[in-house]
Structure 1
Amino acid sequence: MALDTLSLFAVTIFAISMTPGLCMTLAFTLGMSCGYRRTLWMMAGELAGVATVAVSVAVGVAQVVRWRPEALTWLTMLGALYLVYVGVGMWRSASGALEAQSGRASLSQVQLVVLGYNTAVLNPKGWAFLIAILPGFINEQQSLSYQLGLLVPIFLISEFIAMSIYALGGRQLARWFSKPEHSVWLNRVAATLVLFIAILFGLESVNA
């Protein structure tokens, strides 16, 4: 895969990873209540979960493209439209203060791994984002396993860095998010990034 494609994927996936969601909220909460080291067990499960979702989505997309080659263009366009919908919704709501989840400190290591895995696999937004994003980076002329071997590690590294930031900054973020205007600001920045990504995908589908 071209270096510029991998770079765009890295920037795109990191922007999405940093967006507040179930996994980041969980990392934030556990980092604050259990500490970073114990949160690593949840992160391990979450990374296994997102890898499962990414491979499942990529294989499904590959099957559709093999059946109808023009489907890749349509999937990319639909993904762009979905991201516009998400971005506008995030901008309009702009009230996503992170909600603490209690009762996690007593979980065992195995329970933390299972919690992370289930949170990633059962998160519909995770599936939706990947279905929206992956088609724009998959080249039907190249080996799918080769592309996954490059894209999935980038995705996992991005997720790990994002969760680490949330977990390590738990207490400081808690104080920062206590001011409503800060929560609004963060959500609007995230919404702007999602809309920008949607524009890039839209242009990609038009030029395909």
Structure 2
Amino acid sequence: MKFVYFIRHARSHANQQNLLIGRQGAHELNDIGLRQAVCLGERLKDQGVRVLRTSPLRRAVQTAGILADTAGCAVPTVDEDLIERDFGPFDGMDRPTLLRARSELDLDNQDPTGYFPPGLEGVEPIREVQERMTRAWHTAVASVPENESVGLVSHAGTLKALLYAALGIDESHPRAFKIFQASYVKCKVPEEGRLTVHEIWVNPVQ
């Protein structure tokens, strides 16, 4: 039996400012994020995770490096498929600006950072996110022997999209699933191509 840990990166300065951050900018972890990453690394060490793959974005690479050092993993492998969703013109908006922009487009604000309808110009379609994230975990699982685990360091938007697909939840359903910073969803791979949620762990450093 194999397990895959879907990990959200630790808190960055932009997260602290309550910005919607996608692919723009080399956002660094703040002091809380650094502590979160060490705490998560200790947890992963206890869980026996020794292989890590990461999004190429700075906040994820920084998180993965701390996890590797703390948990005793090899140098993390960068996987472009794990990059955050492209939020297009919404990238970098603070919450008030985002709410106004969505209202002007007559979009629901129950989950303003999570739901973007198909066909919205500049925003990566949810199906494309789900396809590349599925490819990412398939590649990761294939890279480790039976009875070993792998951790994938990615982002809120991509992890939510993947888990919505795996659990059969429609994207328009508000706040059905949340992964906190430097926290994970541990999934079993009971058979090739399938995931089942085994554990949701929330980092106590918040």
**Shorter-normalised TM range:** under 0.3
- Of structures 1 and 2, the larger Rg is shown by 1
Q: Relative contact order (C-alpha < 8 Å, sep 6+): which is higher?
A: 1
